[in-house]
Structure formats: C-alpha cells, structure tokens
Structure 1
Amino acid sequence: MQSQAIKANGFVFVSGQMPATLEDGKIKLTEGTVGDKAHAVCRNAATVLEAAGSSLEKVVKVTVFFANLDDFAEFNEVYGGYFPQRPARSAIEAKRLPAGVTLEMELIAVE
C-alpha cells in the first residue's frame, strides 16, 4: 500500500489520483467521458489535500498521466475550473496506467 499524501518541509505530496470512488469498501472506476474522469480525479485530489490540511488553491505542481494524450484538450477544459491559479504542470502519455485507468494525476501543494 502507498500513502495518499505525505507532508514534508511545508509541502504536501499527493500520490497519483485515479478516476475512482470507494463504494461499499470497494474501488469503483469512474466511467464516462474524459471530462467525467477529470472531475473525479480533481475531486479525489481535493479530498486528499483537505485531509492533509491543504487545498487545490495551494497546489504548486501537477503531473498528469494520460493513456492517450489526445484526451488532453477535454481534460484541460475541466482542469481549468479546479485550478484557476494555473500551477506548474506536466502532461505525460504513459503506455499503461494502474488498474487500466486512462488518467492519473499527482500533485504537490504547500500546507
């Protein structure tokens, strides 16, 4: 198992968040459009950050992994609504992501 987030030297490092929810103690992958999955990833990130004493507004760096980089434009439309402060960001196409997801996002925020 991994930690969802670790605090160190005033920063919160958030592990890769996938488009999924926990239902009845089981992980359920989010279905639907890239936009639906982007909302799920951003909501999950917000939940983890808030539990660690931070927030989306305090994010300074985001790395997004895509199974298909063609999904970037649709993802970006949703992403902008969660990150109006425009933190530094990298977008990477990965051949394969955990659990067969098509999108994963990790973040660094200040406390």
Structure 2
Amino acid sequence: MNRQVIQTDQAPAPVGPYNQAIAASGQFVFVAGQIPLDPKSGEIVGAAEVEVQTHQAIANMTAILKAAGARLDQVVKTTIFLKDMNDFGKVNGVYAQYFDAETAPARACVEVARLPKDVLVEIECIAVI
C-alpha cells in the first residue's frame, strides 16, 4: 500500500494526534456519504421513513462500490450520520440485512443537526479493493 502524509501551511496545523490528510492508493476506495436519492430521478426516497432511506443509501453505496470493482463484503469501515439517534435501532435492523454481524466492518454512528436535503440518514464507507 502507498501511504503519504499530506501537510500544507495553507491550512491550519492539526491540534491533536492526526494529520491534515493521508493519501492512499491502490488498495482502498473511499465512498462519499450517500443519501437516499433515487439515482434516476434525483428525488429523495422514503421522505419520512428512515428504514426506506437507509436501504436507498446502501443501494447507492453498493452501486458506487461496484463501479470501483468492490462489493459490500470488502467494506472495512462505515460511518452513519443520523438526524435522530432514536432511529438507531431501525437503521441497525436494515444495516444487518447487508452486513453479517460477525464480519461487519468497523463503524461509527453519530447524530447530526442536519443532513443534505434534510434526509434522515447518510452513510459513507471505505472498502479494500
């Protein structure tokens, strides 16, 4: 794996034990946060249903992974952003349909004040290819 620390004095220096950026190539694909947009219409799917929105966000993520030559079982890390942490159980129920508990990727789940287009869930991932 190629790994390179990226630093510039044109941005603030880190205030803790981390770098401004790490560049990695050849083995990872980093999928940007996916929200529940229908790829054909561009419309939000499941306006008020977090389960429906979670399925669509994962479908979008899966399509991007496929385009990169990867699959869900190659995902090593996900981050889930929720509008309401009370939806955690519902999202977990959907998530478990795609990721087996024994081999599931590492994950973080955080509640945020607002998501793009006021959706209920956004999911990003890192996969090894």
- In the superposition, the TM-score normalised over structure 1's length comes to 0.87
TM-aligned CA deviation for residue 9 of structure 1: 3.3
1:13 aligned partner = 30
2:42 aligned partner = 27
Pairwise mapping of residues 65-84 of structure 1 onto structure 2 (< 5 A)?
65-84=81-100
- Structure with a larger share of its residues in strand: 1
Deviation string 1:35-91 (CA, Å, 9 cap, x unpaired) is: 111111111111000000111010000000001111110010010110112110000
AA aligned to 2:53 is: K
Is structure 2 residue 63 aligned with structure 1 residue 50?
no
TM-aligned CA deviation for residue 105 of structure 1: 0.4
AA aligned to 1:93 is: E
Is structure 2 residue 115 aligned with structure 1 residue 97?
yes
- Structure with a larger share of its residues in helix: 1
Identity %: 39
Which moved further from structure 2: 87-96 or 30-39? 30-39
- In the superposition, the TM-score normalised over structure 2's length comes to 0.76
RMSD of the alignment, in Å? 1.3
TM-aligned CA deviation for residue 104 of structure 1: 0.2
Question: How far apart in 2 are the matches of 1:34 and 1:102?
Answer: 6
Higher relative contact order, structure no. (Cα contacts within 8 Å, ≥ 6 residues apart): 1
SS in 1 for 2:32: strand
Question: How far apart in 2 are the matches of 1:101 and 1:35?
Answer: 12
Which moved further from structure 2: 33-42 or 12-21? 33-42
Structure 1 unmatched ranges of 5 or more: 1-6
Structure 2 unmatched ranges of 5 or more: 1-23
